[in-house]
A and B are shown apart, each in its own frame.
Chain A
Amino acid sequence: MIKKEMIAMLLAGGQGSRLGVLTAKVAKPAVAFGGKYRIIDFPLSNCINSGVDTVGVLTQYQPLRLNTHIGIGIAWDLDRNIGGVTVLPPYEKSTNSEWYTGTANAIYQNLDYMESYNPDYVLILSGDHIYKMDYEVMLDFHKANNAEVTIAVMPVPMEEASRFGIMITDENRRIVDFEEKPAHPRSNLASMGIYIFNWKTLREALIAKADQPALDFGKHVIPYCHEQGKPLYAYEFNGYWKDVGTLQSYWEANMELIDIVPEFNLYEEYWKVYTKSDILPPQYISADSVVERCIIGEGSDIYGRVYNSVVGRGVTVGRGTVIRDSIIMNNTRIGEGCELNKAIVAENVEIGSYVKLGVGEEAENETAPHIYNHGLVTVGEKSVIPDGVSVGRNTVIFGETTGEDYENSCLASGKSLIKAGE
């Protein structure tokens, strides 16, 4: 009989709406990160590096890019005879067909998948964090405490604690209470959205709460287990962990990779991050270009000057173009004589020549200031920007734009130019 000690369930179905146009066409876990990776590569690599070789990936929102990226899991060594990676979309049932209505509901709808591996423990992960973590150490902690549920937590500055789900523990790290985004936090241990459940405990809780609408781990399942008097423990994690849920934090996390010895180091041998990569050639840096403080992916051709930026695979940067503090994702082409400041340019974008992005005065974005802020220019995937236009700060461009879309060849700070539909 098939038996896996611990299997992982990776929640990758969310939109991540605070990433704006970056997730208009792809699920957040499939957004490019760090030159050649996608966000989901980090939890998937953690799984295989921790010895977890059975991973169910739950998809729902815009799954195409995610599905093609994961394939049969070859890149992460997750193509296994028994186990490996399985993509789990919502499916039709003879009665009561529904989408995944909440994090725990998604897991509930896949009880059969988990049952088939006969696990002792189930690891619940989300597909939108950048970190390296050995889940086996967490499992050892779980076993040592005879816990039924272990929640990974991370100490955060007290003043920021009110943004997180906070765990209050006793001196043995047993959770005595928890609060969701409390105004006056009693602890600074924030939940990282990573849980280990005893399989029996999880199954029992999911079945008991099955009728709860929008069944969620933080809101319903964990409180239910707590009410039942189950031993819940908090596993403290002190490494690098970054939620890249907003454009600002996404930009910052990318920029942190550029540091001389980054806190989050991709160059370590013993904890490799794997990704599906199909572009192999080396990158070409021309005679009159400058590359300083940046990371650049395979097969890119740099003819311009790039400072302090993260450039993906297969990118072309034309002559005389100057790029500063920006993120350029895979297969984007930038013409000659352009100037980019604090821009996030998604994949397969065509930028003409003599285009200026991120120039002029600061102005609050007029349509979605909570998304487009901090002076960033965000360009959605497959967008086209014509020659010679200049674009202000806190702006967003998405779709095939032409000269007519720009008043006096200008898009003022704070404006949104969205021509591609949902």
Chain B
Amino acid sequence: MAGGNNHRMKALSQRRAVCAMPVAGSYRSIDFTLSNMSNSHIQKVAVFTQYNARSLNEHLNSSKWWDFGRKQGGLYVLTPTVTTENSNWYRGTADAMYQNLTFLRDSHEPYVVIASGDCVYKLDFNKVLEYHIEKKADITVVCHDMDPGTPIERFGTVRMNGDCRIEDMEEKPLQAKTNTISCGIYVLRRRQLIEMIEKCAEEERYDFVRDILIRYKDVKRIYGYKIDTYWKNIASVEDYYSTNMDFLREDVRNYFFKQYPDIYSKVDDLPPAKYNVGADIRNSLISSGCIVNGVVENSVVFKKSYIGNNCVIKNSIILNDVYIGDNTYIENCIVESRGTIRANSRFVGEGGVRIVVESNERYPM
């Protein structure tokens, strides 16, 4: 599921779908889910796109990055199309699947994993499937306990009994009764899914969570599969910022970068990062293709950025291909990709993260 937009991303999602947001220096959000699927030996993957999909489609230009280009299965990008029966956009997650029901019908795999593309995590879907079979569940929902105090009003919450069967489920409650949330990852039988979606469509209902999960919770055996490993959703500016900053922690880096299985992404053919005289880097991630001439502290610098002389970058995220002119000071900011910042500029996010979108004429490099 990669079609959504989200107002919580503010200016960042004007440029791209949330799932195409760059994460951790060299990845995009959707890479985590796609890599998990590839590493779980799921060979047939359909990506639903709708909102502002150019950047995402560009990223998915080849299935080879995630090893999906096999003779069995493959990577399918399903965008809304006009047909003789239908001229609607995807009106919801269930509708997106309904509009591509032939794809589901023509598949032969017994099970379906539904996952969103805006989360950062590692998960072996086979384990979820084994659990699903063991519990004789109709639907298994992957859940995660959020740290107490984390605002969770933008998630779906679940309450389980001792056997992990889900008893109660609420979508984006104002006052949450639990801190267990649904990760937006579901496992169920393909025929079961087709049946539910068809019924849903008959009643002109379009959302998988609201119109299927919550309505069926007492009728079907819906189980929760809890994960206690790293899991973050990036679909708000604050969470996007903090997820990136998490990668400055050694344990998070080791978990994602050093421990098998790997996370894959599109390879960009960029030269190594280059540090010239004046470069002073402290506790930061720097990606390939960057040229650094200034000070970078507690920041994540994405691919192919140029940081000029006497610049100071603090507690910030610099997205792909940003040019920062000399003597610039940036603190607590997210600098939008392909931006060009004039020399002698100053951007400080006070009382929160500031999103910097600057598209000046780039000086010839």
Chain A interface residues (CB < 8 Å from chain B)? 34-36, 74-75, 258, 260, 266-267, 272-275, 277, 280-299, 301, 311, 313
Contact = CB atoms under 8 A, between A and B. Distances in A.
Given A292-B275, A293-B275, A282 B265 contact: no
Among A274, A282, A293, A296, the one with the most B-chain Cβ atoms within 10 Å of its Cβ is A282
Nearest to A259: B276
6 contacts: A75-B267, A280-B26, A280-B262, A285-B296, A295-B272, A295-B274
Contact of A285 (B257, B274, B276, B283): B283
A291 B24 contact: no
Interface of B: 24-27, 64, 248, 253, 256-257, 262-265, 267, 269, 271-289, 291, 296, 300-302
A164 B281 CA distance: 44
Contacts of B280: 290, 292
A267 B275 contact: no
Contacts of B278: 292
A3 B27 CA distance: 41
Given A292-B279, A299-B257, A282 B272 contact: no
Given A36-B271, A293-B277, A297-B272, A281 B284 contact: no
B24 A267 contact: no
Contacts of B257: 281, 299
A127 B286 CA distance: 31
Contacts of A284: 248, 253, 284-285
Contacts of A292: 275-280
Given A282-B302, A294-B275, 4 more contacts: A36-B288, A74-B64, A280-B264, A298-B272
Contacts of B26: 280-282, 298
Contacts of B296: 285
Nearest 6 A/B pairs, CB to CB: A282-B25, A35-B272, A266-B271, A285-B281, A282-B287, A281-B257
Contacts of A258: 274
Nearest to A312: B272
A286 B282 contact: yes
Contacts of B277: 260, 292-293
Given A272-B269, A277-B267, A282 B275 contact: no
A172 B72 CA distance: 59
Contacts of B281: 285, 289, 291
A282 B283 contact: no
B267 A282 contact: no
A277 to B, nearest CB: 6
Contact of B286 (A274, A277, A285, A288): A285
Nearest to B298: A287
A283 B286 contact: yes
B275 A295 contact: yes
Contact of B265 (A36, A280, A287, A311): A280
B346 to A, nearest CB: 24
Contacts of A299: 257
Nearest to B266: A280
A275 B300 CA distance: 25
A286 B287 contact: no
Nearest to B263: A280
Contacts of B265: 280
A291 B64 contact: no
Nearest to A310: B272
Contacts of A34: 271-272
A269 B59 CA distance: 19
A283 B64 contact: no
B269 A296 contact: no
Contact of B291 (A267, A272, A289, A301): A267
Nearest to B65: A280
B283 A287 contact: yes
B111 to A, nearest CB: 30
A329 B64 CA distance: 27
A259 to B, nearest CB: 9
A160 B161 CA distance: 84
Contacts of B25: 281-282
Contacts of B269: 75, 272-275, 277
Nearest to A313: B272
Contacts of A285: 281-286, 296
Contacts of B282: 285-289
A259 B26 CA distance: 25
B272 A281 contact: no
Given A291-B279, A291-B281, A283 B289 contact: no
B289 A267 contact: yes
B9 to A, nearest CB: 22
A282 B286 contact: yes
Among A258, A272, A281, the one with the most B-chain Cβ atoms within 10 Å of its Cβ is A281
